Amino acid sequence: MTRTRTQVGIVGAGPAGLTLGHLLHLQGIDTVVLEDRSREYVEARVRAGVIEQGIVDLLTAAGAGERLRREGLVHHGIELQFAGERHRIPLSDLADGRTIVIYGQTEVVKDLIALRLESGRPLHFDVDDVSVHDLDTGRPLIRYRHEGRDAEIECDVIAGCDGFHGICRPSVPAGVLSEFSREYPFGWLGILAEVAPSNDELVYAHHERGFALLSLRSPELSRLYVQCRPDEDLAEWPDDRVWEELQLRLGLEGWTLAEGPIVEKGVTGMRSYVCEPMRYGRLFLAGDAAHIVPPTGAKGLNLALHDVQVLAESITHLVETGSTTGLDAYSDTCLRRVWRAEHFSWWMTQMLHRPEEQDAFDLKLQLSQLRYVTSSPAAATALAENYVGLTSL
Ligand SMILES: Cc1cc2nc3c(=O)[nH]c(=O)nc-3n(C[C@H](O)[C@H](O)[C@H](O)COP(=O)(O)OP(=O)(O)OC[C@H]3O[C@@H](n4cnc5c(N)ncnc54)[C@H](O)[C@@H]3O)c2cc1C
């Protein structure tokens, strides 16, 4: 067993863990980042792609936004499609000029890994049997196995950035955390296709066959989704069927959806989940380890990075002053934004998706809500300021 010490042990090298490691490195704080997957796997995992202006600013200020600024696509609006018509929500006009940037999570992760390797600070991939101990003491421990050896790290603080299925949240003793959740009776079948996006902005479509989303990753790569069952069998979705369904749900007179080779295909279930507080002793949970939103509001990645921004400031305060005031406020500070995003993501989801057996009354309510947000500046502004990310929370 090798035994080492660090100031902050970080479990998980997703966007949250890598960003936290980088923000703390900029403050001269030692961290060790542990990841149970390989670097190749982590860098290829296709997920989010919509980044709020505040998070673009955070990454840029931290020196992690150079390629994002160069290659990210700035969007000023989104479109909502229903009852055979498309309506534009001019996000920037309604939200004080703020924008969203389209830049794949895979690219954010690659940029952060490159910075970490450049810093020379430890980042271990392919670790096994990670476990956390002594969380209610001032010297919590992380144990793991790496390259055939057992290892133990003594930390001042542990950051649980290991996603929804990680080990940190389940290591908190029973009864400490309160959990709030909602399951949805549908999922998203998403594809990445080598074809130029057929629209300049994202299109969210409400359709009798179910929801569809036209999104993108770059001028050459389209990202598209169709609503499906949460346990949908991908084998039942050959490429032709995916395109056929997208053509039906996104189709509009005078507009063509261009097709191309599908290079990635997957099904994601949809869930809302929050645990409170996002802390136990010296273990702090951040990102998907503490909360999940359905992807309709494009908030998961943004929330994860907001959490670690707050956590990095709180840990820096502890290191500089010895005071735990920041860490003590961490959970409450984050949960204000988390619950706003939970509500927005739930609201977008229930407005746009069609349950398999939909009550006629519910359908009328959905259409009325869609008409309202596309015709009332007040309602459209509420959507816009949530979508680009609220500044005051
Ligand atoms: C299809 C899809 C589309 C999405 N679209 C959007 C979007 O448009 N906008 C948006 O903001 N969000 C979106 N999201 C959500 C977003 O991808 C997540 O919220 C984001 O990945 C959270 O980052 P994280 O670092 O907290 O967790 P993760 O990205 O899950 O990272 C956790 C890391 O911990 C590692 N890990 C797990 N267990 C262990 C262990 N025991 N030991 C060590 N390491 C471990 C994992 O391998 C992983 O690398 C989407 C998600 C999906 C699935």
pLDDT (tens digit per residue) in 151-189 = 999 999 999 999 999 999 999 999 999 999 999 999 999
- Residue 161, SS3 per DSSP: coil
Check whether 391 has a pLDDT greater than 90.
Answer: no
Mutate to test the pocket of ligand 1, among 301, 307, 310, 388 (most ligand atoms within 8 A of CB): 301
Mean pLDDT score, 10-29: 98
Look up residue 78 and give its two tokens.
């989104």
- For residue 153 and ligand 1, the question of a CB distance below 6 A is answered with no
pLDDT at 393: 74
Residue (of 56, 93, 57) closest to 78 by Cα position? 93
Q: Is 281 buried (19+), middle (13-18) or exposed (0-12) by CB count in 10 A? A: middle
Q: Of 42-46, 111-115, 192-196, 246-250, which gets the smallest average pLDDT?
A: 42-46
- Residue 86, SS3 per DSSP: strand
| Candidates 22, 25, 75, 306; catalytic one | 75
pLDDT at 116: 98
CB atoms under 10 Å from CB of 243, counted, come to 17
Check whether 214 has a pLDDT greater than 80.
Answer: yes
The band of 47, judged by pLDDT with boundaries at 50, 70 and 90, is confident
- Secondary structure letter of residue 239 according to DSSP: H
- For residue 130 and ligand 1, the question of a CB distance below 6 A is answered with yes
| Candidates 15, 140, 197, 295; catalytic one | 295
Report the interhelical angle of 377-388 vs 325-352 (nearest 10°).
130
Mean pLDDT score, 75-100: 97
Mean pLDDT score across all residues of the chain: 97
Query: How many angstroms does the Cα of residue 163 sit away from the middle of ligand 1?
Result: 6
* pLDDT one-digit tens code per residue, 368-381: 999 999 999 999 99
What's the rounded Cα separation, in Å, for the pair 68 and 278?
29
Task: Report whether 73 contacts 216 (CB < 8 A).
Answer: yes
What's the rounded Cα separation, in Å, for the pair 225 and 211?
8
Mean pLDDT score, 357-363: 94
Cβ neighbors of 24 (< 8 A, separation 6 or more) are 7, 8, 30, 31, 312, 315, 316
Q: Residue 305 CA to chain centroid, in angstroms?
A: 8
Q: Is 36 buried (19+), middle (13-18) or exposed (0-12) by CB count in 10 A? A: buried
What's the rounded Cα separation, in Å, for the pair 202 and 190?
14
What's the rounded Cα separation, in Å, for the pair 326 and 78?
37
- Secondary structure letter of residue 230 according to DSSP: T
pLDDT at 392: 78
Check whether 46 has a pLDDT greater than 90.
Answer: no
Check whether 329 has a pLDDT greater than 90.
Answer: yes
The band of 247, judged by pLDDT with boundaries at 50, 70 and 90, is very high
pLDDT at 239: 98
From residue 359, give the alpha-carbon distance in Å to each of 7, 182, 187, 270, 273.
Answer: 55, 19, 19, 21, 25
Check whether 287 has a pLDDT greater than 90.
Answer: yes
- For residue 48 and ligand 1, the question of a CB distance below 6 A is answered with yes
pLDDT over 90, % of the chain: 97
- Ligand 1 atom closest to the Cα of residue 105 is 17
pLDDT at 311: 98
Q: What is the DSSP string of 14-81?
A: SHHHHHHHHHHHHTT--EEEE-SS-HHHHHH-----EEEHHHHHHHHHTT--HHHHHHPEEE--EEEE
- For 45, phi then psi, to 5°, come to -75, 105
What's the rounded Cα separation, in Å, for the pair 393 and 385?
12
Cβ neighbors of 228 (< 8 A, separation 6 or more) are 186, 187, 188, 189, 210, 237, 267
From residue 42, give the alpha-carbon distance in Å to each of 113, 142, 172, 268.
Answer: 10, 21, 26, 17
Where do the H-state alpha helices sit in 237-299?
Answer: 239-250
Query: Which residue, by CA, sits nearest to atom 49 of ligand 1?
Result: 14
pLDDT at 369: 98
Tell how strand 178-193 and strand 85-89 pair up: unpaired
Mutate to test the pocket of ligand 1, among 42, 68, 105 (most ligand atoms within 8 A of CB): 105
- For residue 49 and ligand 1, the question of a CB distance below 6 A is answered with yes
- For residue 162 and ligand 1, the question of a CB distance below 6 A is answered with yes
